[in-house]
Structures are given as C-alpha cells and as structure tokens.
A and B are shown apart, each in its own frame.
Chain A
Amino acid sequence: MSAEMQLDDHSTIIERGRYRMVMSLVVVLAFVAWLVHAFAVSDIEWKYVSHFLMVRTIMQGVAATLFMAVSAMLLGVVIGLIFAIVQQSGNPVWKTVAAGYVWLFRGTPVILQLLLWFNLALVFPHIWVPGYGSVQTVQLMTPFLSALLGLGLNQGAYITEIMRSGLTSVDKGQYEACCMIGMTRLQALRRVILPQALRVVIPPLGNEFISMIKLTSLSSMIQYPEILHSAQNIYYANARVIELLLVTGFWYLAIVTVLMPVQYFLEKRINRGWSG
C-alpha cells in the first residue's frame, strides 16, 4: 500500500527538528550544570557574595550609578536635541559646530574623555565661573562633575545623531502645515515635530540608556563612587576580588533586567497613540 493511501486526517505527522531541539537542550543543560558545578566547587566564597550584595557601600554605589546614568543621559538628551535642531536650522556656522562636536566626541574613547575632564586642572589651574569668579579647577572638577561632563558630552554626540534621524523622519509637510496656521519654528518643533519624532527616537534612546548604565562603571577610574568603585574599595581592604566583582555584576544585571520591560512598555505606549 502506498504512503498517501495510509495518510488520513488522523495520522500523526512527526515534525522534523524535534530530535535536534531535544539534543541541543541536553547539551546546553549539561554545559550549564558543569558551569554551576565549577563555580560551586571553586574558591569563590559564596557567603561573601551574598553578604556584600546588600551592604551599605554597595547600595550607595547602586544609587550613585543610577544617579549618574540618569544625569548624564539627561545632559546627553538636552545636548543632542540642541545640536540636532541646530544642524537642521540651515545656519552653516552652527551646522559645522555641531558636526565638529559629533566628530570629536565620537572619535575618542570615553575613558580618555573622562580622564581629560578629571585632570583639567593640569591645563587650566583656574576657571572663571559666572557669578562666582575664579575657582580652583581641582575643586570644581569633582569626580561627579568630571564623570557627568565626560559621559554626558560623549552621550550627547551619539544622541545628536539619533535626534537628527528622528527629526528628519517627520515629513516636511507637517512643518509647512504648522507654518500655515501661524506657528513659529519653535512652536512647530514643540507641538508637532518633536512629538512625532519621539516615536522614532524612543527605542534607540532606550538602548543608549541601558548602555549608559554600564558605561558609568568607567567613572570608577576617576574616583566616582559608583558600584564598581565601591566594590573595589571593599576588595582593596579584604582581598575578596572575585566575590565583589560578582556582586557588581549582579547589580548591573538586575538594573538592566528591570529596565528592559520598561523600555518595551514605553515603546508599546508610544506606538499605541499613533495609528489609534
């Protein structure tokens, strides 16, 4: 009897690939089990890890990381928005300035920028601050301010590009319609162009923020007391290097894990108001 005659509505058809999926699952589980075992029997003292997970210094580090990430991101968004708008304004002077800014800050490593800000006193021992007069640069360039400027200005260069793509994604007709109901350029930007550009820039901005969380760890190099720096301070004293690095890793993962669904829902929300 030929095969097609036996095949009826009740026949079970075995899909291809099931076997391969089971096999890959076994391989992966075996690998994970081996990894867990290796760590369990290793020299890591897990009780230190769990002990230091929530100590005061580390918690302050977590708070400092979040604070820096949010501040630097805000600075970056403000700068990025201004430069993106300026680039579109058609004024060749400002366009060149914006392009130069992006070139300079994207073209050098962030860590270098942080170190340069932190050591600004070597170049300019005194800085004139409006309202205060001359200030010693060493006192002005605290780890916080250096990290904020370094991370924020660097982030601004990337966000300029994101904002620019957001602004250009809005049809020119929208702006002309604004003009024809008597809006100024700024009004059109605020009421129509930016709200529409938001839809395009929110996903990449979310990604940038998640990168920023991790990027703040670089500011440990300039004594800003974020998570990694706090962990280092502890392990310089007790030599539990790996344990404290694992604590650090745990916190970065935890923050990012919480942020990812936030980003997802934010994107959903923004797209919802769109086509109805």
Chain B
Amino acid sequence: MTATDIAATTAPPILEVRNMRKAYGNMPILKGVSCTLNQGDVMCVLGGSGSGKTTLLRCIAQLERYQGGSVVVDGELMGIAEKGGRFYRLSERQIARQRLKTGMVFQKFNLFSHMTAMQNVMEGPVHVLSVPPEEARSEACRLLEWVGLGERMDHYPAQLSGGQQQRVAIARALAMKPKVMLFDEPTSALDPESVGRVLAVMKQVAATGMSMIVVTHEMGFAREVASRVLFMDHGVIAEDAPSAQFFSAPSHPRAADFLASTLGARVQTN
C-alpha cells in the first residue's frame, strides 16, 4: 500500500453526492446518483449526450435545485441546514459562501467579457475574498503565467482564442483556492489544436493534488489522468470503477458499447 492509498482510505472524502434526484418538470434527469471523490483524486465522468453529466455538476455546484439527495463538500452539507430535525434551504448569501469550496470551468468559458484576462482572475480574490489588490495581482500574474498566458494578461476575452479563454477560466477558478474543481466538457468547444494545451493545463492542475471532477469525451485524458471513471447512462451511474479497470474491462454493457464506439472512432481517425 502506498502513502496515497492509506490517505485515501483514512481521510474522509472531499466530496460526496448521495442519492441525487433531479427532474425538469416531470422529466427525471438524475435518478438517484451517488458518488464519492477522495482528496486529490481525479474523477472523469463519461456518458452519452443527454445522460445528465452537466446536470450532475450543476447540482453539485448548487447552480440547480434538486428534488432530493445531498452534496457534502469538505465535510459541509451544501445548500441545506439541519435544525431541530428539520431541513432549511440556506440563504443566497450562505450558498454563495459555500460555493467557494467548488470551482467550475464551463464548456463555454463564461469569462467576464468586459474585463481583461488579468481582471477576470483578480475579480474573485479582490471583491469576494477581500485580498489586497496588489497581492491579488501578483497571484493572478503567477497563475496566468502558469497556464501559459503570461503574454496575454491584458487581453479581453474577445481577443483570445477559445483555448486561451479556457485557460484563463481555469486560472480564474484556481485563484479562489477551491477544494474541488469541476470541469464540464472544458475542451468540447475548442479546435483540436487548443484541446491539447487545455488538457495539458488540466494535467498540471491534477498534479498539484487538486481534487477534480471532469466531464469529458477525451478518452486519452481520462485513461491517463483519472483515477476513477463514472459512466452515466440516462440519469443513473451505470458504472463507477477505477480508471484502469474501466478501460480494460468495463462491466456494464452500455459502457462497453460506449468505449467501443468512442475508442473505435479514435483509432479510425488517427
């Protein structure tokens, strides 16, 4: 047993989703999803389009209200408080404070379009965490250099390529020092050339020991970086397995089909 294995078995999980149920109208989207993320782990979420991957991330991030289930991040129950055996929805301000534990990288980047790369990264530290601007600036500088954008700090999002915008978005999320980073198909809006550079930055983030949940269709990344793979199918988790096991011998037939089709397509194009 290595040191990390021991840590993983003794330390409480950094994130735990229990029996998450979510419906839009009367269309169930998540039908009782449970999963656990250990400190420093990278979990990739795979699954066909419309299987509920984005919805799961958004529920974890408290961007959606769910009908049932719970999310615990870093030992704290998200969005809900228990008092005298009854459960109350937290105030908007309390939820905002809890969200500091999770960082999110969106498929469409969502950089603040009226701010430069630098201002995007500084915004949260200065205006939410009340870090002195000079301190925030030098930290933002360091982060932007770390994601390979040292030259582009004063560019507006409209002046950056998709891949560059996504790397700024990663820096912006990291600047808040979250406990868990959530990525929702961070590379699927990018051209093939940019994909590699964004994935490289994500690997770099993983290497710092950040706990991550990554929704992706990049099988190479999942295989190489993820320690666990969650395979979602029609709102349920069809398979939750260590990455190596999932890729060598998926147990769920749909997962096997999915792998065959995506990896097959990959082999053909290469």
Chain A residues within CB distance 8 Å of chain B: 171, 173-174, 176-177, 179-185, 187, 191-192, 195-196, 273-276
Contacts and interface: CB of A to CB of B under 8 A. Distances in A.
Contacts of A276: 155-156, 158-159
A274 B106 CA distance: 22
Given A179-B99, A196-B114, A275 B172 contact: no
A181 B181 CA distance: 12
Given A180-B103, A184-B92, 5 more contacts: A176-B106, A177-B104, A177-B172, A191-B123, A275-B159
B110 interface: yes
A94 to B, nearest CB: 15
B77 interface: no
B110 A174 contact: yes
A171 B124 CA distance: 19
Given A176-B110, A179-B63, A180-B173, A187 B127 contact: yes
Contacts of A177: 104, 106, 110-112, 169, 172
Interface of B: 61-63, 92-93, 96-97, 99-100, 102-104, 106, 108, 110-114, 123-124, 127-129, 155-156, 158-159, 169, 172-173, 176
B96 to A, nearest CB: 5
Among B97, B108, B123, the one with the most A-chain Cβ atoms within 10 Å of its Cβ is B123
Given A176-B63, A183-B128, A275 B156 contact: yes
A81 B231 CA distance: 46
Contact of B114 (A180, A185, A274): A274
Contacts of B124: 181-183
Contact of B108 (A173, A185, A191): A173
B269 to A, nearest CB: 30
Contacts of B113: 174, 196, 274
Which 10 residue pairs spanning A and B have beta carbons closest together? A181-B124, A173-B110, A177-B110, A180-B104, A275-B158, A182-B100, A182-B128, A184-B96, A276-B156, A276-B159
Nearest to B169: A177
Nearest to B61: A180
A192 B128 CA distance: 13
Contacts of A183: 96, 124, 127-128
